[in-house]
Every structure is written in C-alpha cells, then in structure tokens.
Amino acid sequence: MRPEDAYKELLKWSRKLALLESIVEILEWDQRCYIPQKGNTYRAEQIGYVARLRHEMMRKPEVGEWLAAAEGGAWCSDPLLDESVNLREWKRWHERATKVPSGLVEHIARVTSEAQTVWAKARENNDWKSFEPCMAEVFALKREEAEAIGYKEEPYDALLDQFEPGVTASLFASIAGRIKEDLQKLVDSVRDCGKQIDDSFLCRRFPIPIQEKFGTMVLKRLGYDFNAGRVDITVHPFTVLVGPSDVRITVRYDEHDFRVGFFSMVHEGGHALYDQGLDAEHWGTPRGMPVSLGVHESQSRFWENMVARSKGFWKFFYPRLLQHFPILADVSLDNFWRAVNKVAPSFIRVEADEVTYGLHIVLRFEIERDLLNGRILIRDVPDIWNQKMKEYLGIKPPDNKFGVLQDVHWSAGLIGYFPTYLLGNIYAAHLMEAISYQIAPLDDLLERGQFFTILDWLRTRIHLLGCTYRPKELISQAIGQEIDPSLFVGYLKRKIAEVYGVVS
C-alpha cells in the first residue's frame, strides 16, 4: 500500500474514533447533569458498550499495517509536519490499545459510570462505607489496566502517562516534594505575619440567577463562544468537548459564597477556551486535539488565578460586579481583591486559594500512588486523608463529605489525573511571565479589558498547535525558555507579599 493511501485510511479511522468519543462525552455529560436517577444503570451499559467499540476500533490489526506503510511517506523527514505529528500519536494510541483487552475497557467504563452515581449519593449523605466497595473495584481495575500497559518503575507511571505524556511518578514526586516545602513555608509566613483579611462580605447573599448573569457576561468578555457552548449546573464542575463548535461548561453555585460559582466558572471557561481554540480543520486527529491535561489545566488555572484573581481584572470588572450586586457597595475594590486572594487552609480543593491548592494535590497524588503500589488499603484512606490534611494544612475535615468524598476523580477512574493540576499551575505561571514580557504587563492588559489580546496569544502558541509538540516542548516553545518549577513559587511569593505585606 502506498503511504498516501495508508494515511487516508488512518484519517478515516481517527475521525471515526473521534465520533465514538463524542458519543461517550455527551452520554457522560447528560448523566452528570440531567439523567433521571433510575436511568443510571442503563446509561452505564451504554457507555461501556461504546467504550468497547472505540477500543476495538483503536486496536484493529490493519491499523498497524497502515501505520507501517504511512511511515514510509515523504512527510517523515519533518517531525513537525501535520502528517508526522498524527502518525506519532496514532502509533502511541494503537500500541497502548493493543495491550489492553477490550473486555477490560468495557468493564472499567461500566463500573466507573456506576461508581460516579454511587459517589454522588455517598457524598451527599456523607456515607463513605457505601462508596468504599466501588472505590476498591475501580482501583483494582485500574491496577489491572496499568499491568496490561506495562511500565518501567511502577503502575502509576502507566496511568499518569495517559494524561501527561513523558511524566513519571518519580519525576512528579521530586517536583511536588520541593514545591510542598515551599508552599508550607508560605502558609506559615502568612499565618505568622499577623495580618487578617476580611472576606466575610463574600458570604453575603448572592442570588444564583444573578451569579449566572454576571458569570455569563464575564465569559463572553474573555472570549467564550456561547453559540458553540452552554453552561449547566452539576455537583462537581467539569468541561466537556463534545465536538467542533460544541464545548460545554458545568458549574456549582453557593448562594452564600460568591467565590464558589464565579471562580469555578472562570476555571472551566479556561478549559473551554482551549477546546474552542483547537484547529477545526484537524478535528478528529491529534493535530486538532489538546496535547495533555497538564497543558489543559494551565489554561484553566491561568484564567482562574493569574487573570481572575488579579487586581487589573477587578479594576475592569468591579464596577460591573457592583451593578449586579449592590450589596457590595460598601466594599472597596482593594478589600475585595485582597479577599479573593486570602490564604487560609480549607477543606475543599476546588475552593482552595492559590497557595494551599498545591498541597491538596500532593495529598491526593501520594494516596493514589500508595494505593496502586499496595502500600495502603482502601479502608484506611479516610484516616490517611485526615492525617495528611492535618500535617500539610493544619486542619482536619469534620466529616468525609469535606474530606475523602469531595472529588469525582476516583469514582470516574481518573487515577493519575491529579498531578496535572500542579503541573498546570507551573505551566500557567510561565505563560503569565511570557505574556508580560512579550506584549505588556498582564495587569495592564486586564485593566484595559484587552482579553482578546491575551486569548490571541494563547491561541497562536498553545491552542492551534494541537499535539504538534509534546507538553513540555509546547510550553517551552511558547515561553522561549525551559520550564522551571521555582518560577511558580516565585509568582506566589510576589503575590502574597502584595496582598499581605512583606512575607518571606
């Protein structure tokens, strides 16, 4: 077969895979937003069946033949050509898929679909015991998947590589260990400085319909296209890429805490801006896909923290916020900005401040890594969670709803996902520095409302490139330097110094 003909077959194959993935995404979105309670069991069967079909298509023997033939094409002389990029990633997909039995893929999809329903009810009722068997089954299945894929050092590597190619558990542990010490020192310095920041006004009554109206207005100004997306309510916020021109956001509101809904909306909006910025011409191929979850998280964390918690952002939006919520008329811009940047250890990860957030991630990484390696037991996880919360953050959750049951990830089988949040923070700090150096100080751009200038920079250097580069290479190309985790810590130190005064 000629390389050109083989490549055409691979294109058709890849786009069929994308169609099946789109079906799974819309089924899962509906399940987490609108499905009637009694529909969950059948939905789990639907998702499992489609997941198996997709996996079987991914591992078809002829795919290997097409890949071998296509690798003889002239495009292989340049690894950055679209064809070369696609072939590199297709080969990775196919090799991984051929190692995992289709029955296991279907089983995992069905079990995790059911487990998410059990988790949501367990969380609502603070009932760890009802979820414990599901969690045990999920981890057993994911360990089986890791063994099928194979790894050099430990099972966690096989799962982490799915979300952040090129990063291993030991590499992330070394990064997390250094950052954990720095973050704990920052938390201590904030506590020792003695300055108290009043954020009580953020817990006044903020009617949810008005929160929705304000959040929608902000998302539009940031560049989110509502003609190619929508916002819905769910227990645990997420963004779903259904297909080209269909990127949906979900949020969770709290009528008595403005931060919960607003910052989750901007966070998910950051994800959505990435997905909406992918090159539609390459839809269904790696060239038109996000490169990794770490890079994806860099987008959400950038917009949520570097943008939406900045003083420049609120200089632009605070007058508009007061129009929506006159109840804040007695609160100065400066006091509001300090309040949304207050550092205070808290129980819920998605509501954590920028400094303590990383400690939440390290905790989860250590637990799931130890579970996969057999160093701890499922039944002991709540106690271990609480011990680590006390050690790292100085607080102990009052119950499991505010502790081990708060995240959807383990019920969804997303083992190895948590490290991408901390990596995303590190990448985001580099992007902020690059924008400030290459265009203008970020705060100045935000104060002038030049959100599309920022978005265009990200579109050109991140979104439109798809999988052209591997994650680390993509960020390095965008910023013009190697990635240095200490830059993220430096950013936090500067910000805390401004919010709290001189903090070492």
The strands making up 239-243's β-sheet, listed across from edge to edge, are 229-233, 246-251, 239-243
Largest Cα–Cα distance in the chain? Answer: 74
Question: What CATH class does 169-500 carry?
Answer: mainly alpha
Contact yes or no for 207/255 (Cβ under 8 A): yes
**Helix intervals (H) in 200-283:** 208-222, 258-276
494, 496, 501, 504 alpha-carbon torsion, rounded to 10°? -70
d(CA 454, CA 265): 18
Name the active-site residue from 28, 268, 297, 304.
Answer: 268
pLDDT in 10s for each residue of the chain, 504 residues? 999 999 999 999 999 999 999 999 999 999 989 999 899 889 999 999 999 999 999 999 999 999 999 998 888 889 999 999 999 999 999 999 999 999 999 999 999 999 999 999 999 999 999 999 999 999 999 999 999 999 999 999 999 999 999 999 999 999 999 999 999 999 999 988 889 999 999 999 999 999 999 999 999 999 999 999 999 999 889 999 999 999 999 999 999 999 999 999 999 999 999 999 999 999 999 999 999 999 999 999 999 999 999 999 999 999 999 999 999 999 999 999 999 999 999 999 988 999 999 999 999 999 999 999 999 999 999 999 999 999 999 999 999 999 999 999 999 999 999 999 999 999 999 999 999 999 999 999 999 999 999 999 999 999 999 999 999 999 999 999 999 999 999 999 999 999 998 655
Catalytic annotation present for 268: yes
Kindly tell me the burial class for residue 51, based on how many C-beta atoms sit within 10 Å of its own C-beta (0-12, 13-18, 19 or more). Answer: buried
Residue extent(s) of CATH 1.10.1370.30 domains in the chain: 169-500
